[in-house]
Chains A and B, each alone.
Chain A
Amino acid sequence: MHITPLLIAVLSVALYVFGYYRMPFVYGGFLLQLIYMVLRGMELGRLPLVGPHDTLFFLSTSFMLFAIPASFSLKNRQHFMNPVTAMTVCFMLFAMLARPHSYPLPPVLRTFWFEIHVAFSFFSYALFGLAAVLGVLYLVYREEGAEGLQYKIILVGYFLFSVAMIFGGIWAYYAWGTYWLWTPKELWTVILWLFYSLYLHARLRQWWTGRPAALLGIAGFVIVLFTYLGVSMLMKSSHAF
């Protein structure tokens, strides 16, 4: 990796750490993350969405992309932004530990359907991550509005995840002749989608609102992490990463 992007990433982490004291530092850190992604995209000539380095970085940037606007609807922004910043830094550091995939893409991956499928998947993962943070806030601080915001964020995440699945099916049909493959990754994707379908239906019942819904929102992100990282590392699948 070139030294300039690396410096930008390190500086971004530093700004996020200062963000614990002053919110503008968080905005600075996010801006540097965006610059890093633009530079990386220019270097590759495509969206940086392949391999653990780029996807982890994309996910960490997506956390902030949605967290900053979402934080304005909360009374205590710092309560929300501190764990989100920690999560962002954590994923960014993991990204920096992984070797960047800077090789040309196989022809089958050079399509709009692939890029939109992956980008929307990670946007939804990020939203589910934020929903988990809001669930914790609701349980720990009894943060007013956190559970309602968690529901809205999951609804948007569920929409993006569904679109990602549909676009993935269209791409798979054009690439491999089928919109569905029997692999652990596909199965876990369906498990994740069904889990959030369960959340959305359960929350319609009075009993599930509040604490149970908050807990479901937290458990959902555990499934997200296993679908993204666990399956890729532990199970053989068409989706290596």
Chain B
Amino acid sequence: MSNELRNTGIPSKILNFFLSLRTAIWLLMALLCLLLYGSFVMPVSEEFQALQTLPLFQWMIENSPGITWWLWAAITVISLLTVNTLLCSIESVLKKKSARQWMLVISPQVVHIGFLFILLAHLLSGYGSFRGTAVVYENQGLRLPNGNDVLFRKINVDIDQTGYIKDWTSDVEYFKEGRSLGTDRIGPNSPSFQHGLGIYIKNVQFQPYPVAMVEVSREPGAVWALIGGILFMAGMTTLLLFKIKKEEVIG
């Protein structure tokens, strides 16, 4: 254990526990067991249907512990894993700061930071996400949670000879207190974003008249997940290059 970490005032037994790779392995095993259990419970319990529409923590509070216990336990294990990851990363950098292959030391830590950012993203989304759906017709408006309005001016549907919907778009205009804020076009994989809210068209129907199933969502963790994903990929790329090279030298 490095002296820098010893001098933090954390009791050494607790520090040793969190600085151990064995702890990480046991925590990963525990997390795997909990998720395995959850994967078999989820499809058969009706309560989990609402999990897609509510923020995770709100859903967990609203449902009985008999259903949610494995998620609470998984979050506890993830919290311990977070502390373990953070402390192990700090220790590794401090211990090996004079190592010759600096990239091999820093790459796993970049991967760990990426992983922690992704966990942060889930924490933020689990707490503050929003999801609402509505059915809209052409020239119909919708009040957004931020108080602005969105008007669906036109719903365009591209249909082939067999009646299969090949594509769709919708022209929208945003308003604040009756004043236009601008226009946009929504399509498949191309939502419209307005002050942190995403406006998506989930489905369209053309007959008897154009109608769209709209979803408005807010994912406060999305940016953090992206940052985490980029860091994870960057760290993994350098780790892969240096690790395989090192294994070849050893081999």
Contact = CB atoms under 8 A, between A and B. Distances in A.
A201 B24 contact: yes
Given A180-B122, A236-B43, A170 B226 contact: yes
A66 interface: no
Interface string A152-196: 100110110011001001110111111111111001101100110
A180 B122 CA distance: 9
Interface residues of A, number: 48
A241 interface: no
A161 to B, nearest CB: 10
A204 to B, nearest CB: 6
Contacts of B4: none
A156 B32 CA distance: 22
B21 A107 contact: no
Nearest to A191: B35
A162 B114 CA distance: 11
Interface in B202-226: 202, 215, 217, 219, 221-222, 225-226
A235 B43 contact: yes
B251 A145 contact: yes
Nearest to B197: A177
Contacts of B29: 198
A148 interface: yes
Interface stretch (A4-12, A18-26, A54-62, A108-116): A108-116
Given A148-B247, A182-B51, A184-B42, A110 B188 contact: yes
Contact of B21 (A108, A171, A205): A205
Given A177-B198, A182-B48, A187-B38, A151 B247 contact: yes
Interface string B3-32: 000000000000000000110110011011
Q: Is the interface of A mostly helix, strand, loop or mixed?
A: helix
Interface string B215-250: 101010110011001001100110010011001000
Contacts of B198: 173, 177
A178 B189 contact: no
A106 B203 CA distance: 11
Contacts of B21: 201, 204-205
Interface stretch (B98-106, B140-148, B158-166): B158-166
A69 interface: no
Given A169-B229, A182-B48, A194-B31, 12 more contacts: A166-B233, A174-B190, A175-B189, A175-B200, A177-B198, A178-B131, A178-B217, A184-B39, A184-B43, A187-B42, A197-B28, A201-B24
A179 B221 CA distance: 9
A104 interface: yes
A162 B35 contact: no
